[in-house]
Amino acid sequence: MTSTQMLREIHEQPEVIERLLANADALAQEVAGLARGCRHVLFIARGSSDHAALYGQYVVSTKTGILATSSSPSVMTLYGATMDMSDVLVVAVSQSGETSEIVDAVAWATGCGARTIAITNNEDSRLARHCDVVIPTRAGKELAVPATKTWSSQMTAMLVLAAGLGAESLLKAAADIPAEMARLMDVNVAPMVEALLHSQALMVTSRGFVSATALEVALKLKEACYIAAQGASSADLEHGPLAVVGPEVPVLIVAAHTGPTIPGLIAVAQKAHAAGARVLLLGGSGALADNADIAAAQTHVPEEIAPIVLGVPGQLLTEQLARARGIDPDAPRGLSKVTQTSE
């Protein structure tokens, strides 16, 4: 097997997460100091970082009692909306910290009175310099275009953020992440690679906490395998997109082992089968696996933590499928590492 840069970076993740968590208490205290009295957490991000932000919305909203949502950066950068954000904590997420759109949106939010946190892999970046508090992901340089270790460290940073907002117990659960990620490095995704070898389109679904990982896997499969892989929550699938699923368009479900999302995901698997589609499963419960044609990477970590560790089999699938389709996953077409939105 050729070793790609992407594969090496996938394997670095347990160490990266461990390093980030070692510093978590001190970072959480910085967050706590800044956030006192804030009533709303607003994430600003694009791409993979935006998927980490979606996870952050679930973690913060459900575990800290503070409403957390996302805003499109263009509300601020293109239209320059002026708002009173004096009780808003803005959390900007950017690997490079140099994406102008994100830096500009944060500068705008500061002007509206918001307090600001950067989650970034570059402590010397413009974004880091601009924000009141920085949660550095310290993932090291990422050379492959598809984000892996920078994404999982952004995801883990959401637990640090939530701990700073009052949900300290999350950091205890997070301690299991590195070992579980290491265990999942050996998952056999070859049958899924085989199943998706010639697919032109794919529906990737989950719900709740793990939705972020489904969207991330869909993005990886788009950028490195050129599959029109669409991520959608299982609830949204039933509002239209399910019609696309069929013999030519399989479904990939990403799920935790337990939790309130399982019955809805089983229903989607059954509807996909009824439409003649194959159903692939990353993670999930036994009952969900019974409704899948190919299942891999079951994990018993709690639902809140599962989205982070389930990134690993999604990345392995992407890396292997890209090579099987004759693509160099380190440098897919049309993309570069620091993304500047065209204006």
Where in 186-225 is the site for its own copies (CB under 8 A)?
200-201, 203, 207-208, 211, 219-220, 222-224
Residue 2 exposure: Cα atoms within 13 Å on the Cβ side: 14
Q: Of 186 and 343, which has the nearer Cβ to its own copies?
A: 343
Nearest distance, CB of residue 100 and its own copies, angstroms:
11
Rule CB under 8 A: choose which of 46, 115, 130, 278 binds its own copies: 46
The stretch among 117-125, 131-139, 255-263, 311-319 that binds its own copies (CB under 8 A) is 255-263
List all residues 6 or more positions away from 162 whose beta carbon is below 8 Å from its beta carbon.
56, 59, 60, 63, 64, 170
Report if residue 254 touches its own copies, rule: CB under 8 A.
no
Give me the least distance between CB of 38 and its own copies, in Å please.
12
User: Whole-angstrom Cα distance, residue 261 to residue 206?
Assistant: 8
Element (H, E) at 215: helix 211-225
Inter-CA distances, 195 with 32, 190, 217, 231, 294, Å: 47, 9, 16, 18, 9
The yes or no reply on residue 83 touching its own copies (CB under 8 A) is yes
Q: Both tokens of residue 100?
A: 């102008």
Distances (CA, A) of 277 to 71, 211, 215, 243, 292: 35, 21, 20, 11, 10
Our finding on whether 331 is near its own copies (CB under 8 A) is no
Rounded Cα gap, residues 61 and 71, in angstroms = 15
Q: Applying CB under 8 A, which of residues 11, 14, 31, 47 lies at the interface with its own copies? A: 47
Q: How many residues line the site for its own copies (CB under 8 A)?
A: 83
Q: Contact with its own copies (CB under 8 A): which of 22, 39, 124, 197?
A: 39
How far apart are alpha carbons 139 and 156 in whole angstroms?
Answer: 11
Instruction: Please give the Cα distance from 28 to 156 (Å, whole number).
Output: 12
Closer CB to its own copies, 33 or 263, in the complex: 263
Is residue 61 at the binding interface for its own copies, with CB under 8 A as the rule?
yes
334 binds its own copies (CB under 8 A): yes
Among 247, 260, 286, 326, binds its own copies (CB under 8 A): 260
In angstroms, rounded to a whole number, what is the distance separating the alpha carbons of residues 26 and 13? 21
Among 32, 34, 228, 324, binds its own copies (CB under 8 A): 228
Distance between CA atoms of residues 35 and 53, nearest Å = 17
Task: Give the one residue of 107, 275, 324, 328 binding its own copies; rule: CB under 8 A.
Answer: 275
Task: List % helix, strand, coil for the chain (3-state, nearest 5).
Answer: 50, 15, 35
Q: CB-wise, 26 or 36, nearer to its own copies? A: 36
Encoded one letter per residue, x for contact with its own copies by CB under 8 A and - for no contact, window 126-155 reads: --------------------x---------
- For 229, other C-beta atoms within 10 Å of its C-beta total 25
- Distance of closest approach, residue 150 Cβ to its own copies, in angstroms: 13
Instruction: Show the site string, 278-317: x = touches its own copies by CB under 8 A, - = not.
Output: ----------------------------------------
- Beta strand residue intervals within 6-128, DSSP E: 40-44, 67-70, 88-94, 115-120
The least CB distance from residue 297 to its own copies, in Å, is 22
CA distance 6 to 225: 13
Q: Which of 35, 157, 160, 268 binds its own copies (CB under 8 A)?
A: 268
Q: How many angstroms separate the CA atoms of 260 and 180, rounded?
A: 22
Angle at 311 between CA 305 and CA 316, to 5 degrees: 150
For residue 320, the minimal CB distance to its own copies (Å) is: 17
Q: Contact region for its own copies (CB under 8 A) — 28-36, 164-172, 240-248, 291-299?
A: 240-248
Piece of 70-78, 129-137, 292-300, 311-319 that binds its own copies (CB under 8 A): 70-78
